Structure 1
Amino acid sequence: MDRRTLGQGAAALALAQALAPGLGAQPAGAENWVTSWAGSVQGPYPVGNPSAQPDQSFIFPDPAEGARDQTLRLVVRPSIWGRRARLRFSNAFGTRPLVLDGVHVGLQHGGAALVPGTNRPVRFDGAEGVTIPPGGQAWSDPVDLPFAAEPDSPLLMGRKLAVSLHVATASGPMTWHAKALQTSYSTPPGAGAKGAEEGEGSFPFPTASWFFLDALDMSAPAGTPVIVGFGDSITDGTASTMNGDDRWPDVLARRLNAAMGNRVAVVNAGIGGNQVVGPAQYGPDRPFPGGPSALARLERDVISLSGVTTVVWLEGTNDFSRNGNATLEAVRDGMREGVRRLRERIPGVRVVGATVTPALGSTSAAHGHAEQDEKRKALNAFIREGGLFDAVVDFDRATLDPATGGLKREMVPDSTTGGAGDKLHPNRAGYLAMGSSIEPAAVLPARR
C-alpha cells in the first residue's frame, strides 16, 4: 500500500468521524437491538457452495436425518458489542419441527474451547428449549453478557462468540449457511447436550458452515448504524482466507471501527452462487446451490434484521452466467423491484449499488465468457448512471485489470485453499482493495 493509499484511508476515516458525530461516545439515551452478525440461510444441507469444508460424514452420516441428539458449537464474530444479546434460529428449509435445547453462548478461547466463566444459558420465553416448525424461526430471550460489561473496550474488537445448541431429536433436512469461512465444531450424533461445557473435549469434529443460527443482535445506543452487505459469493467471501475475516464487509467494518469504535455494525448477507432473479422456485424439494433469489430472500435476510440503515447490493454475475442466463433487462428490473421494497419497508434506508467485478477469462465453466462480460458492463453502467441508488461503490474499478479485462493478477490466487484461483473470485488482496475503496460517506447515514 503506497503513501497515497494511506493518505486516502486517513482522509476517509476522518470523513467517517465527521459524518457520524458523537458515535464514538456513549450516549445517555435508550438502547435498541441492532444486528451484529448474520448468516443468510439456504438449504437443505448439503446443497450449497461451502469453502474448505472438512469431511462431514462423521457429523451428519445421513443428510436426510440431519443432526441427531448432538450439540453444535458455532463460532461467529460480532461486528458490534453490547451488554445483552439475543439469537435468531431458523428452520426455513426444514421439513420437520426443529427441537433445540441446551443453548449457550460464551466467549471463544480457541478452537471449541471457551474462556472460563463466560458461558451463559439461553432461554426462549423463559424455557430451556424451543420447537421451531418447518419454515419458521425463533428469537431467544435476551441474555446478559457480563464479559461485555464495557462494550466500548477495544479489547473486545475481533473477539468471537461460540453459540452452542443441542439438536434434541433428528432434525431432518437442515437449514444452513454453507460458506461460513469460519471453523465451527460438533459432537458426534447421539452425544447429547454438551453446550454447558467450556472445554473442547466433546467437540472433535470441525465444520466450515453454520447451521440453524442466522442472526445475532446486540443492545446498542439508539441510532447505531447497521450496514448490510447483500449479494453473492463475492460478498460471502469465496477465495478469501479461512478464519481470517477477510471478506470486503469485514475490511469495511474494521475501517469504520477504527474511526468510530463500537458504534457501527457491518453484517454479511451474501450467499455463494446467489442471483438477483433466479431461480424461479426454491424450497426443500427444489434446492439450488446459490440459495433463493435475492428478491425471494430480501424480507428474511435484510428487511427483518434489526436497525438496518444501509444496504450495499453487489450482485448480477451469477444471473449472467450459464447457470442463470438472465437478460440484462430482467436483472435491472429485479434491482428496481428490490430497491423499491427496501425503501418501502425500511423508511430512510440508504441503498448503495456496487458495480460487479470482472470475471472475463474465468476457469469456471459457467463464467468468464464474452456475453457475460458485456452484460456485466451494461449493468455497471446502469448502477453508476441509472439514478436508482443513493450512492455507488465502484468495485469494478478497484479490481479490473484494463490490459486483460479480467481481475488484476495479484487478486487471482485463491487465499482459502492456496490454489490457482478461478479468475472470478477475488482473493484477500482483492477483497482488501474492495473494502478499502468504499468511501464512508457512501454507506453511513447522512448527518442530521
Structure 2
Amino acid sequence: MTAGRARLRRTAALLLLAAAFQTGPAHAQSRAATQVKSLDDPKAVVTWGASADRLGDGVADRSYRLIVHTSVAGSGTRVRLSNAFGDRPLTFDSVYAGVRQAGAALVPGSNRRLTFDGARSVTVPAGEVAYSDPLPGRLPAATDLVVSIHTPDAAGPATGHGMAMQTSYATQGDHTGEEGAGSWTDTTGSWYYLDSVSVRPGAGIGAVVALGDSITDGWASTTDQNRRWPDYLARRLQSARTTVKGVADEGISGNKVLADGAGQSALNRLQRDVLSQPGVRTVFLFEGVNDLKAHSGVTAQDLIAGYREIIDRAHAAGKCVVGSTIGPFKGWPEWDPAAEAVRQEVNQFIRTSGEPDAVTDFDHILRSPYDQERMLPFFDGGDHIHPNDKGMAAMADAVDLKSLDCAR
C-alpha cells in the first residue's frame, strides 16, 4: 500500500471513530459518589482504569489533556474524577471527552462537554470521586480517548497516577474545549485526577482488573505504545470468544500488598481501585515482589495472609480471583537467598492451595530454564525484574482466558 493511501485509510478510520462518538447533549443520570462506592449503573463496565495516588500539589487554573486507551467498546461513556488524596474540595469547571487524532490534537467534531448531574461543573469533596453523566453515542474498543479537564482552584495534594507510560498534555488556563494542539505546549507522563472510564457494552459483558505493582504498571515497556501486559491481554480479549472484554490496569510502581509506601497497599486500596469499578467479574492478583525484596521482615506467611484477605474480600463482593506467582528477580540489587526462599514458598501456596479460583504462573513463563531464579534474558527489560515488551506479551499470552470468564 502506498503511503498516501495508508494516510487516507487512517484518516477515514479516525472520522468513523469521531462519528461514532458524537451528537447530542448528555442526560443527567449520575451523582457524585464516595471514593469506595460503585457506579449506580448495572449496565456499566470499566473500559480503562489507573490507580489513584498522591501527585504533589495541585495547580490552580490548570488544564490537563489526558490520553487513555480503552479496552471494551460501548455506549454511554462516563469518566470518574478523583480527589481521593485531596485535603479540600476540588472544582472541575470544564471537562471534555473526544477522540485523539495525533499528539494533543483531536479528531474534528469529536470533542464534547461532559456534565455532572446536568451541570457543567462539579465540586468533589476531599477523599471522594465524581462520575460524569453518560455521553450518547458509541465509543469503539482500542480507542485513544482524550479527556480534557480544567481545575480553577486546585491546591494542596493532587490525586492522579504517576507512571502513566503515556504522554499527556497540560497548559495554563481553560483550553479544554479546543480540538487543536496549539495551546497544549506542556507534556506530562502522569494522569491527573482521572482514574477510570466506563461504558455500557451490552448484556453479559464484564471486566477484569489487574491489581499489581510496577510490572503491571508497565515499567520497561515502550512508552506511548500500550505494551503493558494488561494491554496485550485486552487485545486478546477483544478477538476471543469470551464475555470478559473490559480491562483496568490498577498497578502502581513500587506497590506492596501489606504496607503503604508507593501508593496505598493493595489491601488498603482494594475497594477504591478494584472492587468499586463497574462490571468487574474477576480480580487478577499479581503483587508481592516489593514486600519480600524490601527485607522488612515480611515472611511467606505474612504475604499469604495478605493474599487470603484480598481473595476473601473479592469473593465477598462476588468477584473471582486469578492469582499469579511472583516472577524471578535474581540480579536485581535487593535480591538475596532469603528473599528468594520467601518467593518460592509464596509461589507454592499460589500454585497448590486452591484458594484463588485460578492460577497464572508468570514465574514459569518468565524464568530462565538455566537459572530458575533469574529472568530469561530474552524477556528482561534490563534490570532483571521488569519484563520488556516481549515479556509483557508472553505474560498476557499465558493467561487462560476462560479463567477470567468466571462467576460466583
List structure 1 runs of 4+ shifted beyond 3 angstroms.
260-263
Query: How far does the alpha carbon of each residue in 1:119-142 deviate from its partner, in whole angstroms, 9 at most, with x for none?
Result: 110011111111111111111111
Aligned to 1:173: 157
Call closer, same or farther: CA 1:369–1:343 in 2, change over 3 Å: same
- CA offset at residue 173 of structure 1? 1.3
1:223 and 1:173 map into 2 onto residues whose CA distance is 39
- CA offset at residue 323 of structure 1? 6.1
The answer to whether residue 389 in structure 2 is matched with residue 428 in structure 1 is: yes
Structure 2: any 5+ residue segments left out of the alignment?
A: 1-40
- CA offset at residue 442 of structure 1? 1.8
Query: How far does the alpha carbon of each residue in 1:52-80 deviate from its partner, in whole angstroms, 9 at most, with x for none?
Result: xxxxxxxxxxx4xx221021000001111
2:310 is matched with which residue: 324, 338, 341? 338
1:120 is matched with which residue: 101, 112, 125? 112
- CA offset at residue 260 of structure 1? 4.2
Q: Note if contact 2:244-2:404 (Cα within 8 Å) is conserved in structure 1.
A: no
Q: Note if contact 2:65-2:168 (Cα within 8 Å) is conserved in structure 1.
A: yes
- CA offset at residue 96 of structure 1? 2.1
The answer to whether residue 405 in structure 2 is matched with residue 444 in structure 1 is: yes
The answer to whether residue 203 in structure 2 is matched with residue 198 in structure 1 is: no
- CA offset at residue 84 of structure 1? 1.5
Call closer, same or farther: CA 1:83–1:314 in 2, change over 3 Å: same
Query: How far does the alpha carbon of each residue in 1:73-100 deviate from its partner, in whole angstroms, 9 at most, with x for none?
Result: 0000111121211111111111122111
2:310 and 2:181 map into 1 onto residues whose CA distance is 43
1:357 is matched with which residue: 327, 344, 347? 327
Q: Note if contact 1:69-1:192 (Cα within 8 Å) is conserved in structure 2.
A: yes
2:331 and 2:377 map into 1 onto residues whose CA distance is 12
Call closer, same or farther: CA 1:262–1:245 in 2, change over 3 Å: farther
- CA offset at residue 261 of structure 1? 8.9
Q: Note if contact 2:95-2:147 (Cα within 8 Å) is conserved in structure 1.
A: yes
Aligned to 2:52: 41
The answer to whether residue 344 in structure 2 is matched with residue 412 in structure 1 is: no
Q: Note if contact 1:355-1:384 (Cα within 8 Å) is conserved in structure 2.
A: yes
The answer to whether residue 351 in structure 2 is matched with residue 379 in structure 1 is: no
Aligned to 2:299: 327
Q: Note if contact 1:101-1:166 (Cα within 8 Å) is conserved in structure 2.
A: yes
Query: How far does the alpha carbon of each residue in 1:189-209 deviate from its partner, in whole angstroms, 9 at most, with x for none?
Result: xx3211100001111111111
1:262 and 1:171 map into 2 onto residues whose CA distance is 42
SS of match in other structure, 2:255: coil
Call closer, same or farther: CA 1:325–1:240 in 2, change over 3 Å: farther
Q: Note if contact 1:278-1:324 (Cα within 8 Å) is conserved in structure 2.
A: no
By percentage of residues, which structure has more strand?
2
The answer to whether residue 363 in structure 2 is matched with residue 396 in structure 1 is: yes
Amino acid at match of 1:239: A
2:264 and 2:91 map into 1 onto residues whose CA distance is 24
Q: Note if contact 1:97-1:171 (Cα within 8 Å) is conserved in structure 2.
A: no
Call closer, same or farther: CA 1:184–1:324 in 2, change over 3 Å: farther
Aligned to 1:306: 278
Query: How far does the alpha carbon of each residue in 1:276-297 deviate from its partner, in whole angstroms, 9 at most, with x for none?
Result: 1113xxxxxxxx3x20011100
Q: Note if contact 1:31-1:220 (Cα within 8 Å) is conserved in structure 2.
A: no
1:251 is matched with which residue: 232, 251, 269? 232
- The answer to which structure, 1 or 2, has the higher relative contact order (CA under 8 A, 6+ apart) is 1
Q: Note if contact 1:352-1:392 (Cα within 8 Å) is conserved in structure 2.
A: yes
The answer to whether residue 200 in structure 2 is matched with residue 219 in structure 1 is: yes
Call closer, same or farther: CA 1:117–1:262 in 2, change over 3 Å: farther
Amino acid at match of 1:200: A
2:200 and 2:357 map into 1 onto residues whose CA distance is 28
Amino acid at match of 1:100: F
1:361 and 1:369 map into 2 onto residues whose CA distance is 9
Query: How far does the alpha carbon of each residue in 1:267-312 deviate from its partner, in whole angstroms, 9 at most, with x for none?
Result: 1111111111113xxxxxxxx3x20011100110111010110111
TM-score (norm 2): 0.86
2:393 and 2:134 map into 1 onto residues whose CA distance is 35
1:341 and 1:263 map into 2 onto residues whose CA distance is 21
Aligned to 1:144: 136
Amino acid at match of 2:380: V
SS of match in other structure, 2:157: coil
1:33 and 1:315 map into 2 onto residues whose CA distance is 27
Q: Give the alignment's Cα RMSD to 1 decimal.
A: 1.8
Q: Note if contact 1:80-1:262 (Cα within 8 Å) is conserved in structure 2.
A: no
Q: Note if contact 2:72-2:142 (Cα within 8 Å) is conserved in structure 1.
A: no
Q: Note if contact 1:357-1:396 (Cα within 8 Å) is conserved in structure 2.
A: yes
Amino acid at match of 2:97: V
Q: Note if contact 2:374-2:384 (Cα within 8 Å) is conserved in structure 1.
A: yes
TM-score (norm 1): 0.79
Amino acid at match of 2:82: S
- CA offset at residue 326 of structure 1? 1.5
Call closer, same or farther: CA 1:261–1:244 in 2, change over 3 Å: farther
Structure 1: any 5+ residue segments left out of the alignment?
A: 1-29, 47-62, 280-287, 414-420
2:240 and 2:308 map into 1 onto residues whose CA distance is 33
Amino acid at match of 1:402: P
Q: Note if contact 1:275-1:324 (Cα within 8 Å) is conserved in structure 2.
A: no
Q: Note if contact 1:360-1:370 (Cα within 8 Å) is conserved in structure 2.
A: no
1:206 and 1:33 map into 2 onto residues whose CA distance is 31
1:357 and 1:263 map into 2 onto residues whose CA distance is 25
- CA offset at residue 262 of structure 1? 9.2
- CA offset at residue 246 of structure 1? 0.9
